[in-house]
Amino acid sequence: MKHNETFSKDLLAWFYQHKREMPWRETKDPYKIWLSEVMLQQTQVNTVRNYYLRFIDRFPDIETLAQSSIDEVAKYWEGLGYYSRVRNFHAAIREVQSAYNGQVPKDPSTFLSLKGVGPYTQGAVMSIAFNHKLPAVDGNVYRVFSRLDNDGFDISSTKARKHFEAKVMAVMPDAAGDFNEALMELGATVCTPKAPLCIVCPVREHCMAFEQGNVLDLPVKLKKVKKTVQQYKVLLIQKDDQIIIEQRPETGLLASMWQFPMFEIDTHVSDIEAQMNLSLHIEDEPFVKTKHQFTHLEWQMEVYLAYTNSEVVLPYKLIEIKDKGTFNFPVSMTNIFDKYVDYIQ
Indicate which residues carry an active-site annotation.
Answer: 37
Contacts of 95 (CB under 8 A, 6+ apart): 114, 115
Tell me the C-alpha distance between 282 and 20, whole Å.
53
Contacts of 188 (CB under 8 A, 6+ apart): 45, 140
Residue 16: partners with Cβ closer than 8 Å, 6 or more residues away: 178
Answer for the pair 138, 131: CB distance below 8 angstroms, yes or no: no
Can you give the length of the chain in residues? Answer: 345
Cα 289 to Cα 273: distance, rounded to the nearest angstrom: 22
Cβ–Cβ under 8 Å, residues 327 and 75: no
Helical ranges in the chain per DSSP H: 4-18, 30-40, 45-58, 62-66, 70-75, 84-99, 108-112, 119-130, 139-148, 160-171, 176-189, 208-212, 269-276, 331-344
Strand pairing of 228-239 and 297-308? Answer: parallel
